[in-house]
Structure 1
Amino acid sequence: MPRVSESDIRAELDVVEALIAQYPEGVARATLENAFVESQGRRIAKRTLLRRLERLLTEGRILPDGGGPQIVYRPGPALVLEPPDPEEGYVPLSREGAQVRGLMRRPMVEHKPVGYNPDFLRVYEPGVTWYLPSRVRDRLHELGRTPDNERPAGTYARDIFARLLIDLAWASSRLEGNTYTRLDTQNLLEFGQHAEGKDISEAQMILNHKVAIELVVGEVDRLGFNVLTLQSLHAALSENLVGDPADEGHLRMRIVDISGTSYRPLSIPQRIEEYLRVLLEKTEAIPDPFEQAFFVMVHIPYLQPFADVNKRTSRLAANLPLIKANLCPLSFVGVPERAYIEGTLGVYELNRVELLRDVFVWAYGRSCEQYRVVRDSMPEPNPIRLRYRTEMADVVRETVQSGAPPNTTALREWGEGKDVQPDDLDSFAEIALGLLLSLHEG
């Protein structure tokens, strides 16, 4: 009998886990067997199912309830998904996320006034504490993996930069109430055309995003989670939008109030700077880029280190570890504003991350779907030109400097003298000739 591959086992594990997710109160093994047949059109052997269940239990992906013949299996944390209400346009929710949403929708008079809780940050231990469970991180890595994971930091984001710039500038601004459409955003960024009837501050917000995105993508190899990086992002995002230019890129020195919540941020400047440094040190020490991204989305808005533009800063900062690792970036396209706000308020008032986590995971899956299509539509780089990129630049430069008319024979001979492989010589000469013929004076 042929040996079952690990990929086939993982596929069955995912199927079983997804089936159990449909039974929030738990499901017996016999019911699970029948559900497997209905969903897959084939039976799964009892012993095989038992092994899959044991592995899911070991990995913490499901939970047992009871024992012996009466045992049932329940979904693990952050796995039960409630289908979104099509009228409301929400994201699918875990059981815990739905609970946070319910608490946030209570009348405001029932929301207890709260201040900044330093223990929320203090108890987090990088590499030990995880806001994103291991199976969620594994899934995000699987979704976000790109062909450029071994190439220099930021390669993938630069390849899709034109699309990313418009998507992220538009979607992040929309979460702040900006009314520019995606087409309006594209016209502004590509042609400098302002949308008629829109407030000038909306154009400023989008243009500020452009500067910040260019910073993250263009300088990703030298940026890290430190105060200077965060201040640089904030300065770009807040330019001409925060009233007092002294607040652009500078830590908060005054009290701020947040509308629509009972949460009151920290007001002592020395404590703000102290906790920001702790926050950034912990972020830098987190060993997983997705956990880093989500951690800053939780803690930067919660601390409110700047007088305004904190959430925008956190969204751009969240992309830094993803772009650095050549993972698919997070554009926030399609994220329902209400879900994002309620998730953030859950952090503010309850120090609960589950609703914001549901938004983050859904948003990342959506981004990966979009950019996979973008990348698949891009032409593959010519392997000869990629393999001999240094030699190609040299032969073009030397031919131009010599003043001799280019021809394939001479270019082929040049390649022979530079260790271009015999099978590649004809293609090398043709590509080099094409590059030379495309040149113009200046």
Structure 2
Amino acid sequence: MSRPASNDLIPAILAAVAAAPAGLTFGEITTALGEKTVRRTLQYRLQRLVETGELRMSGNRRSARYTIAAPRQDGPAPPAEVVPISPTGRAALDYVRQPVAARTPVGYDRAFLEAYRPNETFYLAAGERERLARIGAHEGDAAPAGTYAKRILDRLLIDLAWNSSRLEGNTYSLLDTRRLIDFGQEAEGRAHREAQMILNHKDAIEFLVQSADDIGFNRYTILNLHALLANNLLADPQAVGRLRHIAVGIERSVFHPLETPQLIEECFDQLLASAEAITDPFEQAFFVMAQLPYLQPFDDVNKRVSRLAANIPLVRANLAPLSFTDVPDDLYAQAMLAVYERQETDLLKDVFLWAYERSAARYAAVRQSVGEPDPFRLRHRQALRDLISQVIRRGLGRVEAADYIRAQAQVLVEPETREQLVEVAETELLALHEGNFARYQIRPSQYVAWRKIWDA
């Protein structure tokens, strides 16, 4: 078969996959299109089709299989009907869709937490956990904790910050979010609170990824995660990173959370102990997604904490992260109402399983276009970040920067790697431009001021 023209490649891919109900592997698609098809070009086209929702990707990189999927919608998340709902989930959904006056008021039931026995009780069935493990795994699973998340951090920051904020009613678009995170530019006509919410997500995600060796289901991690997500958003600044001392209500719900601070603290510690004891990372993720918002341990921002905390075991195990891509906001809210009012987790599980498959497919596509990370850069990531940011903040020109980097290398690394650190740092400086300086936590004004000195 002759090689398709570049403009015809996407229709040819879709036609080939559509003709195979069971889907095709990368090699089978190559054969269908012709042996002269450029491998890299085909990878980019497949990645694009997965990201736009025209193809669905399942399995890991080498055994990935592509099938036709429903087209992804731009803008708002797709309607709730795109998520397959189990019979028990449907019953819960029908209940919470009733008017508030038709639903029975309930309070927090500690038995919901106490009945759970780590590694004996399971919200996710064995087959569901095995399937998630297959689609979330990738080469390099034995690497240090957080290696994979660091590799895709730039993409993860945008995806997770936007989707988690969207589930809270944030009106920033994906492009608005990218501009805010990359350049610090707030969207016109939007409340400052929305920008703060997204930037807080960025800080919280970086905390989880950069502290992968230290994070866990413990007070240090969860309290600091709340502090980062709630920064500058709570009426009481002292409530940031602190367990709740006040009564709270849930909007459009008949659920009444605990009010006694001592009981909140006891249940919080019990919840963390149970979560940390769970050995399966997906069961851990789902457990905290259900139990933490049900307890409402903080004045506000509880669901945001639970969504990012669900990524803790995934980051630690180098699994594909859960970024809540395309999750319908109304269905997620209703699934949480089912947990609050009926202690029913099946609807939330339906959302979780669908969401993880979407996220895993997205990052499987990302992996095809991201080269293998440089081990030296990975090992000295923080040192490089500090060096570059200091050069910019100090407004150093080329000569002063070279002297500063060489002097710092004397104290930052062992003698045999000093020259390599100097070379890598100088290469990073030469590659800086307006589209990539945000990773060094530099404000646009700082970059512009430094750039004038550097170019002079």
Flag whether TM exceeds 0.5 (same fold): yes
Q: 1:356 aligns with which of 348, 351, 373?
A: 348
Match of 1:154 among 146, 151, 166: 146
- Amino acid of the structure 1 residue aligned with 2:263: R
Higher Cα Rg, which structure: 1
Listed as ranges, the matches of 1:10-409 within 5 Å are 88-380=80-372
C-alpha separation in 2, matches of 1:241 and 1:163: 25
1:380 CA displacement: 3.5
In structure 2, give the amino acid aligned to 1:259. Answer: E
* Structure 1 residues 208 and 106: CA distance shift in structure 2, 3 A: same
Q: 1:208 to 1:381 in 2, by over 3 A?
A: closer
Q: CA deviation at 1:148?
A: 2.2
Query: Could you tell me how far 1:98 is from its partner in structure 2?
Result: 1.1
Which letter maps to 2:180? L
Structure-1 separation of matches of 2:373 and 2:251: 50
Alpha-carbon distance, 1:379 to partner: 2.1
Flag the 1:197–1:382 CA change in 2: closer, same or farther, 3 A.
closer
TM-score where L is the length of structure 1: 0.68
Instruction: Give a deviation string over 1:334-365, Cα, whole Å, max 9, x none.
Output: 10001101110000000000000000010000
* 8 Å contact kept, 2:285–2:312: yes
Letter in 2 for 1:352: E
CA-to-aligned-CA distance 1:271-317 (integer Å, 9 cap, x gap): 00000000000000011000000000001100000000000000111
CA distance in 2, matches of 1:143, 1:439: 34
- How many residue pairs get aligned? The number is 320
C-alpha change, 1:131 and 1:438, in structure 2 (3 Å) is closer
Deviation for aligned residue 1:86: 7.2
Instruction: Spell out, residue by residue over 1:172-223, the C-alpha distance to the aligned partner (whole angstroms, 9 max, x if none).
Output: 0000000001110000000011100000000000000011001000001111
- Tell whether the 8 Å contact from 1:96 to 1:354 is kept in structure 2 after alignment: yes
How far off its partner does 1:108 sit?
1.7
Structure 1 residue ranges, 4+ long, deviating more than 3 angstroms after superposition: 85-90, 380-383, 434-442
For the Cα contact (< 8 Å) 2:78–2:327, is it kept in 1?
Answer: no
Q: 1:437 to 1:236 in 2, by over 3 A?
A: closer
Deviation at 1:243, TM superposition (A): 1.1
Contact 2:78 2:328 in 1 (8 A): no
5+ unaligned residues in a row in structure 2: which ranges? Answer: 1-20, 23-76, 381-415, 431-453
Residue identity matched to 2:208: V
- Say if 2:320 and 2:359, in contact at 8 Å, map to a contact too: yes
For the residues of structure 1 that align with 2:374 and 2:258, how far apart are their CA atoms?
A: 55
- TM-score w.r.t. structure 2 length? 0.66
Do 1:146 and 1:156's aligned partners in 2 also have CA atoms closer than 8 Å? no
- Structure 1 residues 89, 253: closer, same or farther in 2, change over 3 A? same
What percent of counterpart residues are identical? 50
Match of residue 16 from structure 1: none
CA RMSD of superposed structures (Å): 3.0
CA deviation vs aligned residue, 1:108-142 (integer Å, no higher than 9, x gap):
22210000000000010000000000000000000
- Aligned residue identity for 1:181: S
